[in-house]
Structure 1
């Protein structure tokens, strides 16, 4: 289509418009056959200049839509598991940020010192008094208020799940659709199904958080829907400070002098891909012979220079492989696969030596291919 045919006037208007036919394969996704947009000018020369960015944007939107696909059962299961793991990780971070008794006492002492030094006129300045007092009360009661918030939220999620309401979970559903590039229309039966799945994951995560309030951190999901999309992925969660990547950083700190900084940086990226495959928040015992063997098989589908391709930006290890099935980029060689396995192998050896795992997970996975 020539440029001139993309710049037109609509009947009854003196302004020029950008116009483009929607490609046939995009029409079912966009639900339109033609796009129009005012260029805000009556000057034909200016219109020809303004139309180019509009056409470029439309073509980029078409390309993005074509990357989307109907969700598979594994896609839906991955979204559920991601929601469950993500909420538990957010809970872990909130707990790590809660003020300790020592912090509350320190704030109280600082307040007393400010009163004695005359920095706070007590009680002559009631607003200042109230503000400082509320800060200390909120610090002291932060854990209790968080428990109450979660209890209210859990009750609401259960009510919404029973009645088909999606208001609380819709933002998470929209994130999953965008993140995984799924063809799910908001408000459709498929959208409501996704929302209900995510609600069940959220309920399970909130129940695990309630167990953590009692000091129980080894709880697992009791809803049969809330499980990894692949049994290779762990269904036990790491305790704070012992996630796969946290242990890798500990390994690096102990062995820092054994390799160049750029080697450590590259190997960390490779181990992170493995962690994404088995679940980044999984307990370290998820690092097994079977996990490494299955990862090796998946690496045969890993696209060459995936980290440098915009089309894969923001996608997890599994999602990159799924996307490349349609895109068809060249995959890495066996030599490169061995390099990836070697990065995990040195880490696994350290885990074995330090009794985090009780088996040599790399035996038979690297040596046979070298």
Structure 2
């Protein structure tokens, strides 16, 4: 199967090939459907992914900090209390008194004592493990080693369906930030060991994330799925051609915020960032081979080298108008409030683009016309 052009860069090849392990054509045809469905699901998953942003990094840091503290609290609740330890001691002595454990039963004595000691030392053992991890994280933060946090980083990347290559600069930066978050969480745990639950992060990057697009849309409620509902209703009764143009325009916005971004996350910030990209967006980018398989931000970046002409303010306003009409429908149906495109249009260029010919310019034209007249 050929890989869709827009996914070739992510997949790393132009074609997928798989041997079905049989020479029987009937069996091959039966196996074919399953393989094709797996590939198509893989393509759909890649299309739904989006590029890592600064907001994602901030969210990953804060989520990891809070989740780690929640796990610590769960661990503390499961720790044996002094009453639990006393109960275990009484249990051991009662077995000795009943003759279930005796000095002649060496293995039984060892097992009973071991269980009791494990209960007694469980808190100290947990604190020791936390101390070792804290020291290791601080050392690795200096040396740039990231393996202690990579499982958590990869889990965040997969959960949020992000486009990020393991080992890339962005990946390493995400890991290092999450390590700092982990260090802060461990510092809080040692404060809790002393009964102090009032501690707050001292590292400036460990703070509540305020960015958008932190969640994935519910099934049937992605921006483009809702656009199709809007198109079906067609509240302004616009022509099919205009509706298709609006679909393409809104598609570039989705290209910016991601396929899984829920409609209620369409806000001023997202529209502002999209408009800034449109002002640098090359004309007919989707038809230009130099931009094949690229998303809008990649196209704008690549055009700094290619140097293709960019959209006019009038065309940028058309994109904004297409999104604005759709957002008005979203407002009317309770998905967002208010319309984030209001007041975002670019000012019209009032400079006169066409000027009348001067007399000196017209005279040669008139003379040429006279010479061409039939006698």
Which band: TM-score by shorter chain?
0.5 to 0.7
Classify 1:309/1:98 alpha carbon distance in 2 versus 1 (closer, same or farther; 3 Å). farther
Cα 1:208–1:21 change in 2 (3 A) is same
Confirm whether residue 322 of structure 1 aligns to residue 261 of structure 2. yes
> Given the alignment, which residue of 69, 72, 90 partners 1:109?
90
Are the aligned partners of 2:88 and 2:116 in contact in 1 as well (CA < 8 Å)? yes
Which of 47, 50, 62 is the matching residue for 2:31? 50
Does the residue aligned with 2:17 lie in a helix, a strand or coil?
Answer: strand
Give 1:185's aligned residue: 165
Per-residue Cα deviation, 1:8-57 (whole angstroms, up to 9, x for no partner): xxxxxxxxxxxx11111111111111111121100112111101000001
Deviation per residue, 1:237-271 (Å, 9 max, x gap) = xxxxxxxxxxxxxxxxxxxxxxxxxxxxxxxxxxx
Aligned to 1:169: 149
Structure 1 moving runs of 4+ over 4 Å: 308-312, 318-321, 323-326, 328-338
Task: Note the alpha carbon deviations across 1:298-329, whole angstroms, 9 max, x for none.
Answer: 9xx996xx3x55989xxxxx999835569x99
**Greater relative CO (CA pairs within 8 A, separation 6+):** 2
SS in 2 for 1:225: coil
**In 2, Cα distance between equivalents of 1:41 and 1:310:** 42
CA distance in 2, matches of 1:125, 1:34: 69
CA distance in 1, matches of 2:197, 2:157: 30
Normalising by structure 1, we get a TM-score of 0.60
Identify the residue that residue 136 of structure 1 maps to in structure 2. Answer: 116
Report the secondary structure of 1:217's partner residue. Answer: coil
Q: Secondary structure at the match of 2:206?
A: coil
1:226-305 alignment to 2 at 5 Å? 226-230=206-210
Q: CA RMSD in A?
A: 3.1
Q: Distance in 1 between matches of 2:80 and 2:155?
A: 31
The answer to whether the aligner puts 1:159 opposite 2:139 as a matched pair is yes
Q: 1:336 to 1:78 in 2, by over 3 A?
A: closer
Q: Check 1:180–1:332 CA distance in 2 against 1; reply closer, same or farther (3 A cut).
A: farther
Q: Which runs of no fewer than 5 residues in structure 2 stay unpaired?
A: 224-256, 267-325, 338-375
Structure 1 counterpart SS, 2:21: coil
Per-residue deviation, 1:118: 2.3
- Alignment check: 8 A CA contact 1:22 1:34 kept: yes
CA contact 2:153–2:175 (8 Å) conserved in 1: yes
How far off its partner does 1:136 sit? 1.0
Q: Which residue of 1 aligns with 2:45?
A: 64
Aligned 8 A contact 1:88 1:209 in 2? yes
Question: In the alignment, which residue of structure 1 is the partner of 2:19?
Answer: 38
Rg: which structure is higher? 2
Q: CA deviation at 1:102?
A: 0.2
Q: 2:197 aligns with which of 198, 217, 220?
A: 217
Q: How many residues align?
A: 242
Name which of 90, 110, 119 aligns with 2:71: 90
State the SS of the aligned residue for 1:168.
coil
Distance 1:320 1:129, change over 3 A: farther
SS in 2 for 1:21: coil
